[in-house]
Amino acid sequence: MRVAALQTVSSADRDDNLRRARRLIDQAAQAGAELVCLPEHFAFMGHQDTDKLAIREPMGQGPIQTQLAQAARESGVWVVGGSLPIEVPGRDDVAFNTSLVWNPQGECVARYDKIHLFEFDNGQEQFNESRVLRHGSEPVCVDITDRQGQVWRTGLSVCYDLRFPELYRRYAEQGADLLLVPSAFTHTTGQAHWEVLMRARAIENQCAVLAAAQGGWHDNGRHTWGDSLVIDAWGRVLNRLSQGEGVVLADLSWEAQTQCRTQLPALRNRRL
């Protein structure tokens, strides 16, 4: 299956971000991608945490969801909206940070609310997503069928989830073949930990990993790490993009993944 991680440098202009996202989706589809994944916060990077509340959408409605459904349908590809703010019923002061999956018919077939909310303070940079975001509670797998009819069981996650291996082990236990990690890692934490965590999640669970990232300087002054990656089940980086907007394409081989699991049956050899 040919997959694409779409890297963005999103701004506080939602409509411009959506135009750029559509251009990247079309570019990936024209290059033969069957599954495309956008980063966390692809549609909006505000100047303060509360800004995202102004663009939150009810589930199933709103310009972000409408445009991604249309892109999936018109391009004939699976589209993963890395994350967008979705309303919490009865609350106007918080939102879910939600990843949504559309099939090539433009139907939304999966929803994952980010479980682990980022908190970081090194004295110079401070982040606490729980001020405006609500924790999700349920891991979510979705079956993605490629053009050869092969079904890839896919585990959904978002950014900071990457640091919690128990989530991905749960997906492996549920038969996952592919892990999605749309992200907006800070430059500080990405430089230290991004690649090693991504490769570890692939190796320990013998799953391919598709990680679409924000990558560059944003108009709010934030610097995101980027380095969007596609990694195979052996832990090999198949393709990457360090910084800037672009498309990261790679071909995932079902045969190679099966061979990896057959030659080294680590999941079957677990004792705990």
User: pLDDT tens for residues 217-262?
Assistant: 999 999 999 999 999 999 999 999 999 999 999 999 999 999 999 9
- For 210, the token pair is 């598709």
Asked if the structure places residue 270 within a domain, the reply is: no
Q: Work out the pLDDT band at 267, boundaries 50, 70, 90.
A: very high
Asked if the structure places residue 17 within a domain, the reply is: yes
Confidence (pTM): 0.98
**Cβ distance 252 to 44 under 8 Å?**
no
Task: Give the residue numbers annotated as catalytic, written as ranges.
Answer: 40, 114, 159
pLDDT (0 to 100) of residue 126: 94
Asked if the structure places residue 271 within a domain, the reply is: no
Q: Work out the pLDDT band at 201, boundaries 50, 70, 90.
A: very high
pLDDT (0 to 100) of residue 169: 98
Asked if the structure places residue 179 within a domain, the reply is: yes
- Write the pLDDT tens digit of every residue in 152-182: 999 999 999 999 999 999 999 999 999 999 9
**3-state class (DSSP) for residue 90:** coil
Asked if the structure places residue 268 within a domain, the reply is: no
Per the structure, the complete domain to which residue 36 belongs is given by 2-263
Domain count across the chain:
1
Ramachandran class of 216: left when φ > 0, alpha when ψ lies in -120 to 50, beta otherwise: left
pLDDT (0 to 100) of residue 23: 98
Asked if the structure places residue 269 within a domain, the reply is: no
- 26-51 average pLDDT score: 97
Containing H/E element for 257?
A: helix 254-263
**What's the one-letter identity of residue 181?**
V
pLDDT (0 to 100) of residue 19: 98
Asked if the structure places residue 132 within a domain, the reply is: yes
- Write the pLDDT tens digit of every residue in 95-154: 999 999 999 999 999 999 999 999 999 999 999 999 999 999 999 999 999 999 999 999
The Cα 34–Cα 77 span in angstroms is 5
DSSP 178-240: EEE--B--BHHHHHHHHHHHHHHHHHHHT-EEEE-BBEEE-TTS-EEE--EEEE-TTS-EEEE
Q: Work out the pLDDT band at 63, boundaries 50, 70, 90.
A: very high
**Cβ distance 110 to 156 under 8 Å?**
yes
Any idea what the CATH number is for the domain that residue 104 is in?
3.60.110.10
Asked if the structure places residue 165 within a domain, the reply is: yes
**Cβ distance 197 to 189 under 8 Å?**
no
User: How far is Cα of residue 19 from the mean position of the Cα atoms in its chain?
Assistant: 19
